[in-house]
Amino acid sequence: MAREGDQTTGHGSFAPSIFLPGSSLCQLAQIEGKPMLTVDAKCAPHGSPSPSPPVIGTIIQGSPTSLVKCDDGVFRKVARIGDSLDCGCKIVGGAMTVGAGANA
């Protein structure tokens, strides 16, 4: 399961990124001492040597069976290692002691 501080793959000529402190929509739900990530969380801006501007990816894929109630009261799918962002990245970092859904 993904947490603040975990990394993405990057995509095309765009470098990998991380999920900065405060990027979790569920600050009270923690895994291994770090706030967990869900669908709709955003990674840090990541750039490319091309003339394209930096992009901020949003998690668009999560567990089909595990939801968490976020700080805004909305239940969202838990993000896992291998889940996708709308920019083309995938999550590559995450907790090693717990899992959720089909990626568990």
Domain limits at 55? 1-94
Across the chain, the runs of DSSP E, i.e. the strands, are 26-31, 34-36, 67-69, 75-77
| 48/69 Cα distance (integer angstroms) | 35
Does a structural domain hold residue 101? no
Using CA atoms of 44, 1, 25, 92 in order, give the dihedral in degrees to the nearest 10.
10
Contact 36, 26 (CB under 8 A): yes
Does a structural domain hold residue 84? yes
* pLDDT tens across the length of the chain (104 residues): 999 999 999 999 999 999 999 999 999 999 999 999 999 999 999 999 989 899 999 999 999 999 999 999 999 999 999 999 999 999 999 998 877 766 54
Does a structural domain hold residue 25? yes
pTM for this prediction? 0.91
Using CA atoms of 40, 44, 45, 49 in order, give the dihedral in degrees to the nearest 10.
-130
Number of domains in the chain: 1
Q: Is the torsion defined by CA of 103, 5, 8, 76 positive or negative?
A: positive
Which CATH number do you get for residue 14? 2.60.200.60
Does a structural domain hold residue 22? yes
